Structure 1
């Protein structure tokens, strides 16, 4: 018997949205199973992402739950079609080579209609120069084997291709001055990285804003955040890093709080033109 692959974050998210839909109408698993003419084990496994679900079934369940939001239902049926179509994406090549949360991040970015990220001590992953990324990975604890470092570097570079698509997501990157001053790889590599930032800032769909030390304190000062906007607001996701790995949050309270944090940081950051001037000055000071 073939081993069932664990669900991706996006697949788990589809199941979670079906669970939220059920809970909004106050139905238990047993009651929902009777309504859908199935068993509660199927409901539970579908809501956890362990079982796939067809687009037709999503529509039937949504109708049974009397969900009135047609745009939301359409977005969920699109997610169901992605899984049932067994589509292969570029990150699937790394499925047995890298941790699942890294692949889930690439998947999140791929499906986002817009991205907003805040970085405190590192450059945003999508904007990292190859030499800078190599220098960051060289500091890993425990140290990476050469082949693992090269694989992670290749994956990071391929992630950034989302910015090169014909219809790329609108991106806003808030970068703290600490990240600009951190010299991973030394002065030469840092200059390359800052110069690359200036080039990326020329793209119409990329906005870079610097949050200088002079701006003072700000909320969640110790943590970075990567916010992906879905095709409908209910499908937004925020990804945060910890020493133990990535976390993906999509509860309404978490989303609202992180939007507020990013809003506050953006308000205190320099506008795009002044940010570019700040980066140029940082290059001159190296």
Structure 2
């Protein structure tokens, strides 16, 4: 099997989980290679996502590493199965690879949670709102780049409506609801779009009102993607230099706690819808 030059985030994560299994067994890559009858370079390439691995090989590795967590082993083995190219691959060499990694991550997610305090979650944006957001990017994007990013964002939203529905839970601060990207009419349509999306049984939209006071997280957008087991969860953060994907246990615990606290500060769904409706009336 040829060595990959540009593994995706999912392939990197699979490799990282294999490395964690080995390290929990107290083995170096050289010791693992000797135990498995492989070359050390093969072990290293598997653990960096550069070499493909089958579900059978994952199970063999887990057996040799004496991993007792069958659910985790099954979940890692499940990461090896998909061979077809996802829709996001049509944007390869057009958009940054991290955006494609995000779409792949969502595609395989079991539950999606997000919190925004000053902007609208990407999966909830209208086309017009998304386009205005990308027009504000620094450094400035060219018109074709704006359209590519806009169409990509809208295509990502299909994850909310596929047959095997994924629960999506968004916490939005009231401040974000008052933002007027593109002017009053685009803002009005965006809020109406929120109300419409909130009618879907798998979509939950909660609002933190101004009078809730302070909140954790320093206002940073948080996107939490649940995997088949908690160890395979991922946090995505938007940072000034681009997208960051986090999966260390301490990081997952931190952002689960932050999201839980933000949810506790929010209005219930009925009250959130009423607040969104009242803001629409002011536009």
CA shift digits 1:128-175 (9 cap, x unpaired): 011111111111112211111111111011000111101121010000
Aligned partner of 1:241 in structure 2 is: 238
Aligned partner of 1:61 in structure 2 is: 61
- Deviation of the 1:89 alpha carbon: 0.8
Calculate the aligned-residue CA RMSD, in Å.
1.2
Aligned partner of 2:216 in structure 1 is: 219
Aligned partner of 1:272 in structure 2 is: 269
CA distance in 1, matches of 2:61, 2:188: 55
Between 257-266 and 176-185, the greater mean CA deviation after superposition: 176-185
Between 38-47 and 6-15, the greater mean CA deviation after superposition: 38-47
Where in structure 2 are there 5+ consecutive unaligned residues? none
Match of 1:168 among 165, 169, 184: 165
Where in structure 1 are there 5+ consecutive unaligned residues? none
Aligned partner of 2:29 in structure 1 is: 29
CA distance in 2, matches of 1:178, 1:18: 43
Q: Secondary structure at the match of 1:258?
A: helix
CA shift digits 1:45-73 (9 cap, x unpaired): 11111111111111110000111122211
CA distance in 1, matches of 2:132, 2:37: 56
CA shift digits 1:61-95 (9 cap, x unpaired): 0000111122211111111122xx3x111001111
The answer as to whether partners of 2:3 and 2:45 remain within 8 angstroms in 1 is no
Corresponding pairs, count: 282
CA distance in 2, matches of 1:221, 1:279: 23
The answer as to whether partners of 1:180 and 1:194 remain within 8 angstroms in 2 is yes
Q: Secondary structure at the match of 1:285?
A: coil
Match of 1:200 among 186, 197, 214: 197
Between 3-12 and 122-131, the greater mean CA deviation after superposition: 3-12
Aligned partner of 1:156 in structure 2 is: 153
CA distance in 2, matches of 1:133, 1:75: 34
CA distance in 2, matches of 1:221, 1:154: 30
CA distance in 1, matches of 2:41, 2:211: 56
- Deviation of the 1:222 alpha carbon: 2.4
Within a 5 Å distance, the mapping from 1:72-91 to structure 2 comes to: 72-82=72-82, 85=83, 87-91=84-88
Q: Is residue 104 of structure 1 aligned with residue 96 of structure 2?
A: no
Aligned partner of 2:91 in structure 1 is: 94
CA shift digits 1:250-275 (9 cap, x unpaired): 11110011000000000001110000
Match of 2:278 among 278, 281, 284: 281
The answer as to whether partners of 2:224 and 2:234 remain within 8 angstroms in 1 is yes
Closer/same/farther in 2, CA of residues 203 and 21 from structure 1, 3 Å limit: same
Match of 2:136 among 139, 143, 150: 139
TM-score, normalization by structure 1: 0.96
CA distance in 2, matches of 1:118, 1:58: 35
The answer as to whether partners of 1:132 and 1:190 remain within 8 angstroms in 2 is yes
Aligned partner of 1:188 in structure 2 is: 185
CA distance in 2, matches of 1:54, 1:139: 44
CA distance in 2, matches of 1:134, 1:278: 25
- Deviation of the 1:221 alpha carbon: 2.4
CA distance in 2, matches of 1:168, 1:219: 30
CA distance in 1, matches of 2:263, 2:137: 30
TM-score, normalization by structure 2: 0.97
